[in-house]
C-alpha cells in the first residue's frame, strides 16, 4: 500500500491521501493535539463526528505518566484512549527544549528529571523509537535536538549535526513495519544549515519529513521563509510536516510551499480561553457585544454550539465560568479548522488556491482592522 498519494496540485500546493495502519487522512490537514492522550475536554466520538481523521500525542509525556506498561496492558495507545483513527506521536525533542532546566543533552541521548515526580530518566534515540513502537502509533518521530530561537549559528550547527546522527540511529533501531518513522529537519533560521540537513535526510530512507524548530519566537516572515526553503529541499513525493504551526496566516503560505501536515494547540487552548475562530476573524466570546446576540456565533457552522444555541449562551457560560463553555468553544474551534482545511483541499483541487487564500485572509483580517480604525 502506497503511503502518500498526491491527488491534486496547484503550483507547489498539493492535496493528497495519507494511508496509515489505522486508516487514511486527506491532506493538507491540521492534527488536534492530544499530548497526554486526550484532546482536552473532547470525547473521541466528538472528534470523529467533526471529521477529524488524525491526531497527535506526545510519547515523552506518556512515558512519564501513565507509563508505557499501563498503555501496553490496555492494548496500545489507540485502545487506551478509545481512538481508532491514525495517531502521530512526537518523540520529545520539543520537551527537551521547553524543559531545558531539567535536561542534560549528550551524544548518547538526554538525561532528564521528571517534571512530575522528580525521577531521573534517560532517553536515547533508540529509546524514543522503542517507546513509540510500544505505544503503537501510526507515525513516529525521530528524536532530534531543538536548538531554540534565537541561537548562534555554531549552536544551531551542532544541534543540526546531532539531529542527523540521531536520525541514523533511529532508523537503525526501528522494527515495526506498520509504523512510519518520520525524520525532523533542523537548522534554526540559517538557510545553508536547513539545506544541508534536508539533503542529508533526503538521502536516508524515511517515508516522511518534518520541519522542526518553529514557532518559538521568530517573526512570521522568517518562519514562512524557513518553511518555504525547507519544503523545496525535501523529496517531492513524500509528506512534509510543519511542526507546531496552527494560525491560518501561517498555514496558507506553507500550504502554498507544499506542506501537508500541521499540528498546534491553538484550537483547544484558544477554545478554553474564549478566543473563537470564524471565517470573519477571531472573537473574544467574553466581550459584552455577545451578551444579547441571539444568533449563532457563526451562521452555517455545524458545531454543537452554533447549530443549537445563540452566541449569547456561549457568552453566558464563559462569563459564569461554567465548564461547558470551554468545551463548546473547543468544539467550535476544532470544527472551524476542519472546515478551513476542507476548503483548502477543495481550492487546490479546483486550481484556485491562491485566490482562496487571498479571499480568506481579507475576510479574516477585516474585523481586526475595523476595530483598530474604530479605536
The DSSP secondary structure of 187-254, one letter per residue, reads: -TT-HHHHHHHHHHHHTS--S-EEE-S-SSS--HHHHHHHHHHHHHHS-TTS-EEETT---HHHHHHH
Residue 113 has φ and ψ, to the nearest 5°, of: -95, 125
**CA of 298: how far to CAs of 156, 219, 264, 304, in Å?**
44, 30, 22, 12
Q: Which residue has the cell 513495519?
A: 177
All three cell numbers of 355, joined, read 485566490
| Cβ atoms 247, 270 nearer than 8 A | no
Instruction: Give which of 259, 174, 254 is closest to 208, Cα–Cα.
Output: 259
Q: Which residues contact 180 (CB under 8 A, 6 or more apart)?
A: 3, 20, 138, 139, 140, 207, 208
Q: Which of 10, 90, 127, 250 is catalytic?
A: 90
Burial grade of 349 (CB within 10 A; 0-12, 13-18, 19 or more): middle
Residue 222 — φ and ψ, nearest 5°?
A: -65, -45
Contacts of residue 263, defined as CB under 8 A and 6 or more positions apart, other chains included, come to: 30, 31, 32, 33, 56, 88, 241, 243, 244, 245, 246
**Count of other CB atoms within 10 angstroms of residue 260:** 25
> What cell numbers appear for 75 in the block?
492494548
Query: Is residue 117 annotated as a catalytic residue, yes or no?
Result: no
Q: List, in sequence order, every residue forming a beta bridge with 6; answer none if it has no partner.
A: 16
Edge-to-edge strands, sheet with 4-10:
4-10, 13-20, 23-27
Q: Out of 144, 250, 260, 263, which one is annotated catalytic?
A: 263
Respond yes or no: is residue 219 known to be catalytic.
Answer: no
CA proximity to 55, closest of 334, 339, 253, 325: 334
Catalytic residues: 90, 263
Amino acid at each position: 500500500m502506497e503511503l502518500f498519494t498526491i491527488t491534486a496540485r496547484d503550483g507547489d500546493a498539493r492535496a493528497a491521501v495519507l494511508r496509515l495502519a489505522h486508516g487514511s487522512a486527506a491532506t493538507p490537514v491540521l492534527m488536534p493535539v492530544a499530548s497526554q492522550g486526550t484532546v482536552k475536554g473532547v470525547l473521541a466520538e466528538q472528534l470523529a463526528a467533526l471529521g477529524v481523521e488524525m491526531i497527535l500525542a506526545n510519547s515523552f509525556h506518556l512515558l512519564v505518566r501513565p507509563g508505557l506498561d499501563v498503555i501496553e496492558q490496555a492494548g496500545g495507545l489507540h485502545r487506551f484512549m478509545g481512538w481508532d483513527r491514525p495517531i502521530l506521536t512526537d518523540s520529545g525533542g520539543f520537551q527537551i527544549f521547553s524543559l531545558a532546566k531539567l535536561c542534560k543533552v549528550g551524544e548518547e541521548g538526554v538525561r532528564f528529571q521528571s517534571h512530575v515526580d522528580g525521577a531521573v530518566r534517560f532517553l536515547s534515540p533508540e529509546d524514543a523509537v522503542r517507546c513509540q513502537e510500544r505505544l503503537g502509533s501510526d507515525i513516529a518521530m525521530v528524536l532530534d535536538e531543538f536548538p531554540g530561537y534565537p541561537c548562534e549559528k555554531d549552536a544551531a550547527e551542532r544541534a543540526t549535526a546531532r539531529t542527523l546522527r540521531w536520525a541514523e540511529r533511529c532508523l537503525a533501531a526501528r522494527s515495526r513495519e506498520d509504523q512510519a518513522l518520520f525524520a525532523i529537519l533542523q537548522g534554526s533560521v540559517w538557510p545553508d544549515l536547513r539545506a544541508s540537513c534536508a539533503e542529508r535526510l533526503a538521502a536516508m530512507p524515511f517515508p516522511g519529513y518534518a520541519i522542526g524548530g518553529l514557532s518559538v519566537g521568530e517573526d512570521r516572515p522568517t518562519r514562512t521563509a524557513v518553511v518555504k526553503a525547507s519544503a523545496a529541499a525535501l523529496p517531492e513525493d513524500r509528506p512534509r510536516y510543519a511542526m507546531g504551526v496552527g494560525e491560518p496566516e501561517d498555514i496558507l503560505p506553507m500550504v502554498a510551499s507544499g506542506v501537508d501536515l500541521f499540528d498546534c494547540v491553538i484550537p483547544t487552548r484558544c477554545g478554553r480561553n474564549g478566543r473563537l475562530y470564524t471565517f470573519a476573524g477571531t472573537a473574544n466570546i467574553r466581550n459584552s457585544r455577545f451578551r444579547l446576540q441571539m444568533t449563532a456565533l457563526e451562521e452555517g457552522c455545524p458545531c454543537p454550539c452554533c447549530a443549537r444555541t445563540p452566541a449569547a449562551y456561549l457568552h453566558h457560560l464563559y462569563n459564569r465560568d461554567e465548564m461547558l463553555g470551554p468545551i463548546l468553544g473547543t468544539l467550535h474551534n476544532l470544527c472551524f479548522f476542519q472546515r478551513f482545511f476542507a476548503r483548502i483541499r477543495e481550492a487546490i483541487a479546483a486550481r484556485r488556491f491562491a485566490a482562496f487564500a487571498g479571499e480568506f485572509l481579507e475576510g479574516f483580517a477585516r474585523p481586526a482592522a475595523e476595530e483598530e480604525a474604530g479605536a
